[in-house]
């Protein structure tokens, strides 16, 4: 059995690792010209459920590399005003002793790509733009690329992201909806000058800003275990040895950085950010944050131009089951979701682990191929439907917070309630404990679901 994967992203590469470990012939094709190209974003959060799923597919040494290359875990979660005045702050949200699986992790998206490419260099081809596929009467699937080449396999997996061309052919009924929320973001080097612009809690945590007109912002400082001078002091010996011996580090330019992003309903933007170049985007971000804290605006001004980007936040409409074939999809290619809950990458990793398990069952003669793909698609549609809809609730221009008049009143009420909690230590501890319990229950439920699927 040969499996062809379109897209060298988080889900596609995780699947490729799992299939290769199982001895199944796999090839990965990516449209970007090299492994260092692509607008991959700046950060991805991996939950315990995502780590568990990844552990099912990648080799142990690659999983250890993933853990070693994650950024420092945040210690604080804070909510501030647009003037960067604290509304609510909770400390000790990180793990003092990071468990390889049962912990929240932050990683640079480019670093994650290089980690997952480790060991797959000989089966991954770049510069391959998918055009179309054809299924033959004898059961094969042939993929045609823009450069005129083609490849034939037994199974075709679309892992080519939210703008998937493969999805358009395989599931023409699939629809995407606008949330009406647009975002602008960038990053800047973490230097003494830029670190002076943020508070101590911001330096060691994740900070959200709640601003008028329903606008929001995030600031996150990403600190790694290495820099331009090599491995940093106080890095664990085991991690230092792993990073030093990692061949993929030559392709990763990640250094400590500060990332920021703002978002708002489309009605508040004076022009469409998707039509603007980097310098114009910076000007627009400054225009959108007029009257905000000078320190936040300085972050915008000091941003690296080549990292400025805009996102029109869209979401997929959950699909009804379809007739399965040798062509299937995973991750954003089939269930694009907003970043509202931060679970897109985790769901893609779960897809990869489950699809890998089903294809291994085919190899072992335990399932017919179409039955295996049908089983995967049924489970995937069920668990992804919930997270797509929940993520949509977090980012939707129809929410009252984005309304011109009532939104202002709702913002004032929310800020008042958070400030009250922030000044009552007992209440804040109870709220934090409850939130942590809910998060652990959610992840434990996802892991338990995965275990049942893998059994």
Q: What is the average pLDDT across 15-27?
A: 98
> What is the value of pTM for the model shown?
0.92
Look at residue 234 in the predicted model and tell me its pLDDT: 87
Whether residue 24 contacts residue 363, with contact meaning beta carbons closer than 8 Å, is answered with: yes
Q: Position of tokens 């980012």?
A: 395
To the question of domain 2-401+433-454 being in CATH 3.50.50.60, the answer is: yes
Res. 61: pLDDT tops 50: yes
Does residue 453 carry a pLDDT above 50? Answer: yes
**pLDDT tens by residue, 204-255:** 999 999 999 999 999 999 999 998 888 999 899 999 999 999 988 888 877 8
CA-wise closest residue to 222 among 263, 247, 250, 253: 253
Band of pLDDT at residue 97, cut at 50, 70 and 90: low
Q: Is the pLDDT of residue 41 over 70?
A: no
Q: In this predicted structure, what is the pLDDT of residue 250? A: 85
What would the pLDDT profile of 412-425 be if each residue is shown by its tens digit?
999 999 999 999 98
Determine the pLDDT at residue 340: 83
pLDDT above 70 for 37: yes
Contacts of 8 (CB under 8 A, 6+ apart): 28, 29, 30, 32, 35, 113, 117, 124, 126
pLDDT at site 451: 86
Question: What's the CA gap between 47 and 51, in Å, rounded?
Answer: 6
- For residue 227, give the H/E element and its range: strand 226-227
Of 244, 245, 242, 226, the residue nearest 234 (C-alpha): 226
pLDDT band per the 50, 70, 90 thresholds, residue 96: very low
Q: To the nearest whole number, what is the mean pLDDT of the chain?
A: 92
């Amino acid at each position: 059995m040969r499996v062809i994967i379109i897209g060298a992203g988080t889900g596609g590469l995780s699947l490729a690792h799992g299939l290769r470990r199982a001895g199944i012939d796999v090839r990965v094709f990516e449209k970007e010209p090299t492994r260092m190209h692509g607008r991959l974003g700046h950060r991805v959060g991996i939950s315990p459920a995502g780590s568990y799923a990844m552990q099912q597919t990648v080799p142990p040494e690659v999983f250890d590399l993933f853990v070693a290359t994650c950024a420092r875990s945040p210690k604080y979660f804070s909510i501030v005003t647009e003037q960067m005045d604290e509304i609510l702050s909770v400390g000790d949200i990180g793990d003092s002793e990071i468990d390889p699986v049962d912990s929240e992790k932050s990683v640079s998206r480019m670093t994650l790509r290089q980690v997952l490419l480790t060991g797959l260099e000989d089966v991954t081809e770049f510069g391959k733009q998918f055009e179309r596929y054809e299924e033959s009467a004898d059961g094969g699937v042939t993929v045609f690329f823009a450069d005129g080449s083609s490849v034939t396999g037994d199974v075709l997996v679309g892992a080519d992201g939210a703008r998937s061309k493969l999805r358009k052919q395989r599931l023409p009924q699939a629809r995407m909806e606008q949330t009406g929320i647009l975002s602008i973001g960038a990053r800047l080097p973490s230097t003494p000058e830029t670190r002076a612009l943020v508070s101590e809690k911001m330096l060691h945590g994740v900070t959200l800003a709640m601003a008028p007109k329903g606008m929001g912002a995030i600031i996150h400082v990403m600190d790694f275990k290495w820099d331009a001078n090599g491995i940093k002091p106080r890095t664990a010996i085991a991690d230092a040895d792993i990073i030093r011996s990692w061949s993929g580090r030559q392709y990763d330019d990640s250094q400590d950085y500060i990332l920021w992003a703002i978002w708002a309903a489309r009605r508040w933007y004076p022009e469409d950010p998707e039509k603007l170049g980097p310098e114009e985007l910076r000007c627009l971000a400054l225009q959108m944050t007029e009257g905000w804290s000078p320190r936040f605006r300085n972050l915008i001004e000091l941003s690296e131009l080549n990292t400025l980007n805009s996102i029109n936040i869209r979401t997929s409409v959950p699909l009804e089951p379809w007739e399965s074939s040798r062509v299937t999809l995973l991750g954003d290619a089939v269930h694009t979701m907003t970043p509202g809950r931060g679970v897109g990458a985790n769901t893609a990793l779960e897809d990869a682990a489950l699809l890998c398990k089903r294809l291994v069952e085919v190899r072992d003669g335990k399932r017919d191929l179409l039955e295996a793909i049908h089983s995967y698609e049924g489970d995937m549609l069920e668990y992804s439907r919930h997270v797509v809809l929940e993520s949509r609730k977090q980012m939707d221009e129809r929410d009252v917070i984005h309304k011109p008049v009532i939104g202002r009143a709702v913002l004032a009420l929310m800020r008042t309630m958070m400030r009250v909690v922030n000044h009552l230590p007992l209440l804040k501890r109870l709220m934090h404990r409850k939130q942590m319990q809910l998060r652990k229950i959610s992840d434990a439920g996802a892991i338990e679901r995965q275990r049942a699927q893998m059994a």
